[in-house]
Structure 1
Amino acid sequence: MTKQNLATKTDDRFATLTFEREVAAPVSALWLAWTAPAARAVWAAPTPAVTVDFIEADTRKGGREVSICKVEGQPNIRCECGWLELYPQARSVNYEVISCEGESLSASLITADFVDLGARSKVIVTVQLSSLVGDMSGDYQQGFDGGLDNLAGVAERTMILQKLIRAPRSAVWGAWMNEKTLPQWWGPEGFSCRTSRIDLREGGEWVFDMIGPDGTVYPNHHHYNAVKPQERIGYELLWGENGPKHADAWASFDEADGATTVTLGMVFSTAAEFQSAKGFGAVELGYETLGKLERFILKQ
């Protein structure tokens, strides 16, 4: 990862800040790490002392994101982001309003430009800042520095699978978010699922074993932290019931001309786990799973 920061100030109220990161990940992974709510929740906190809770997340043009930043012993900070433009893998534009205890502290316009460098990519973030209470440029500099360093690390351990399914979104969602049908197709070729508990609502969970063709049992636990009907789900992947987390995952569903593009993303907990997953064929096995979903839907 390489980085560059620039700052231009006209007075204490206005500043233009520019941040640049070159990342060892393709632009597709960087873009989704920047925009997908499940991924943003992983990298948004600039330091370990900050906890970020996402209250609302709707990443589409005209959509809004609201988060609360918490630091022990300090008042909570509210961040509202509104997406003004989204050009996939090229540019995003959003406004951001920061407030504390009902008082607005700053407003800014944030433009992120993405550059495809093949196996690598680059993001250039320009922040046009208006400080409403004091000079906030130092806080923004620190916050974006830490957040973009985290973003680069997340993008480098993000796995993205996409598949176009020739079926309407309602059919794809219905096969995925149905407690009876999900276990019927989930998993690679030759694998089956044995469910202990399943509740596909937000806050629910799926505790199950995946059983391989040779009879090997792989304990799994999915914990669902976001369910936006027919649009996206977010969940944590645990190694067995209440085991250690190995990834934050999401699935999104986009319909056009009667077909649905399914995007399945996973941010692995460590770079080592990401490399291990790639090594044992997680990408290929993931596409087998999405292929089983497609065949299941088309047979209905």
Structure 2
Amino acid sequence: MRATGRGAPAQSATADREIVISRVINAPRELVFEVFTEVRHRSRWWGPDGFTTTTRAFEFRVGAEWDFVMHGPDGTDYSEWITWTEIAPPERIALRHGESRGDPNAFESVLTFAPDGAATRIEMRTVFPTTELRDEAVEKYHAIEGGQQTLSNLAAYVTEIARTRVED
């Protein structure tokens, strides 16, 4: 797993506004992409440890939206909204993520799914509108740890699905 945070060497024009998290998942890319993109799987793994997710609306196509609520372990609800800006199965997804449609603080993420032997390397590159918003996400909302936990939850769920499919 790799994550860049404050103090990481600048690698791009947006380095001071971005977070990059990656993980290798021991499953084929097509399965990882499926589990990431199908709503029937989402509530089983989405979010940091201790969070649950309730989907209000979901359609996976460019221009469509995922409207959902993340429920924190302390009982706090977080309204969330994602729109898909690019979909290239099973290689890449780009999205815009905020609290709601029109959120001026929404951020952009690009997820890539690359073969890594028999496994898949997923990379989540998120760029915030400003350095201050990025720093707030890291410091106040623990975005790096939360992203790592979310990918860990995805990996555990995909491994469970892969095992079940082999047994069937």
TM-score w.r.t. the length of structure 1 is 0.49
Deviation at 1:179, TM superposition (A): 1.6
1:208-241 residue CA offsets vs partner (Å, 9 max, x unmatched): 0100011101110001010001000000011234
Find 1:226's aligned residue among 83, 86, 90.
86
Match of 1:99 in 2: none
How many Å separate the matches in 2 of 1:292 and 1:278? 19
1:14-93 pair list within 5 angstroms: none
Deviation at 1:120, TM superposition (A): 2.8
Match of 2:145 in 1: 284
Find 2:9's aligned residue among 106, 111, 120.
120
1:158-169 pair list within 5 angstroms: 158-169=18-29
Matched AA of 2:126: M
Indicate the structure (1 or 2) with the bigger Cα radius of gyration.
Answer: 1
Q: Percent identity?
A: 30
Match of 1:206 in 2: 66
1:91-140 residue CA offsets vs partner (Å, 9 max, x unmatched): xxxxxxxxxxxxxxxxxxxxxxxxxxx84347xxxxxxxxxxxxxxxxxx
How many Å separate the matches in 1 of 2:157 and 2:123? 17
1:162-177 pair list within 5 angstroms: 162-177=22-37
Q: Which has the higher strand share?
A: 1
Match of 1:49 in 2: none
Q: Which has the higher helix share?
A: 2
How many Å separate the matches in 2 of 1:272 and 1:121? 16
How many Å separate the matches in 2 of 1:286 and 1:263? 11
Q: 1:121 to 1:216 in 2, by over 3 A?
A: closer
Deviation at 1:242, TM superposition (A): 4.0
Gap runs ≥5 in structure 1: 1-27, 30-117, 123-150
Deviation at 1:170, TM superposition (A): 1.0
Find 2:106's aligned residue among 219, 222, 246.
246
Indicate the structure whose relative CO is greater, using CA pairs within 8 Å and at least 6 residues apart: 2
Deviation at 1:183, TM superposition (A): 2.6
Runs of at least 4 residues off by over 2 Å: 118-122, 240-246
Q: Secondary structure in 1 aligned to 2:40?
A: coil
Q: Secondary structure in 2 aligned to 1:156?
A: helix
RMSD value over aligned CA atoms?
A: 1.8
Q: Determine whether 1:184 maps to 2:77.
A: no
The size of the alignment, in residue pairs, is 156
1:48-86 residue CA offsets vs partner (Å, 9 max, x unmatched): xxxxxxxxxxxxxxxxxxxxxxxxxxxxxxxxxxxxxxx
Match of 1:294 in 2: 155
